[in-house]
Amino acid sequence: MRGLSRTYVLKRTGMFFLTVWIGMTVIFFIPRMAPGDPIAAMVSRLSAQAGRIENADQMINAWHAKFGLDAPLPVQYGRFLKNMFTLNLGYSLGYFPTKVEDMIKQALPWTLGLLAMATLMSFVLGNIIGALLAWRRSPRLLKLLLPVTLTFTSIPPFMMGILLLYVFAFGLNFLPFSGGFDQSVIPGLNLEFIGNVLQHGILPASSIVVCTMGFWALGMRGMMITTGGEDFVILAEAKGLSMRRIFFNYEMRNAMLPQLTALTLSLGSIAGGSVIIEYIFTYPGIGYLLYSGIVNNDFTLIQGIVFVLISSVSFAVLLIDLLYPLIDPRISYQGK
């Protein structure tokens, strides 16, 4: 690939695996440092639902052996690393006998479908607004109106979500307030189900887009101001190139590099940052699943979800590093 050397690719790939290993080590030890026994908590929940359970101590010991929690910590760690690298995420402690990978497979499409699209919409709108704010040829009226769209930047998305719930779900009764779809709708590739899913996703997606696009706009505005004074932009203007071409091909293209890096990081970590949003709207995504795992002290579920998040963030960073020479020909890792 142009601009890349084999040494650099191998080095970045090695950093990818090192980052994943360090993250896996952290997520193995942190849940075990928290107070409480997940097996005892599971038996306690069963007792609350079904009444008194006989031989509870023997059951707890048996489940400890079943999940390998009775083994020494180094042995547990070795098994954990082997399972993670072979993508065997195990069984959920809180929802046994459901497998963690099955739970993640069910929740992941909801998070990708809603929150990834919301992040992309926020990214596109924010960068367009920021670029137009900094462009010298933007109409004066547009420069006066665009800052109004950034007034909600200081509000956390979950607070905006609560406000939108109050106004549009409970006040005006225009939109549903919870879930991914109505239980009366049969899931499938049909217009009724797809329309219902989109209807349920408007409020959580809007709370993210409205509150986050301002950060993209401010970052893009700063980069556009810096890029607008570069020699290659001045040379393009001196050549008499059209302002539209200069705006898109010279200024925006070069100002987008830091924004793309931030986008890859935000896309990789979107599930972890959506916990409160998905909890507020009871949305069946990865964030809500992670919240359930934390509440239930479910080691395996927490570890499986965080493993997916760490791997996705690390892979996103690796990918953008390898794609940089294609985005900007000035960047080259040849001979490094």
**CA geometry: angle at 88 spanning 304 and 99, to 5°?**
65
Q: How many CB atoms lie within 10 A of CB 165?
A: 19
Q: For each of the chain's 336 residues, which pLDDT tens digit applies?
A: 555 677 777 888 888 888 888 888 888 887 777 666 666 666 666 666 555 656 656 666 676 676 666 677 788 888 888 888 888 887 787 777 788 888 888 888 888 788 777 888 888 888 888 888 887 777 777 777 777 777 787 788 888 888 888 888 888 888 887 777 777 777 777 777 788 788 888 888 888 888 888 888 888 888 888 787 777 877 887 888 888 788 877 788 778 777 877 777 676 556 555 777 888 888 888 888 888 888 777 778 888 888 888 888 788 778 877 777 666 666 655 554
pLDDT of residue 157: 82
pLDDT of residue 336: 46
Indicate where the chain has its CATH 1.10.3720 domain(s). 113-295
Q: Which residues pair with 211 in a beta bridge?
A: none
- Cα separation, 152 vs 215, in Å, equals 10
- Cα separation, 138 vs 130, in Å, equals 11
- Cα separation, 272 vs 279, in Å, equals 12
The domain defined by 113-295 folds into MetI-like fold (1.10.3720)
pLDDT of residue 328: 61
Two tokens, residue 39: 């097996």
Q: Which residues pair with 99 in a beta bridge?
A: 91
**CA geometry: angle at 312 spanning 120 and 294, to 5°?**
100
Which 8-state DSSP code applies to residue 186?
P
The CA distances from residue 7 to 2, 14, 334, in Å, are 14, 11, 9
Two tokens, residue 203: 């409020």
Give backbone dihedrals phi and psi of 131, rounded to 5 degrees, phi first: -65, -40
Q: Which residues pair with 91 in a beta bridge?
A: 99
- Cα separation, 27 vs 84, in Å, equals 11
Half-sphere exposure (Cβ direction) of 299: Cα atoms closer than 13 Å: 25
Q: Which of 148, 127, 145, 281 shows the shortest CA–CA distance to 203?
A: 281
Residue bearing tokens 């023997």? 58
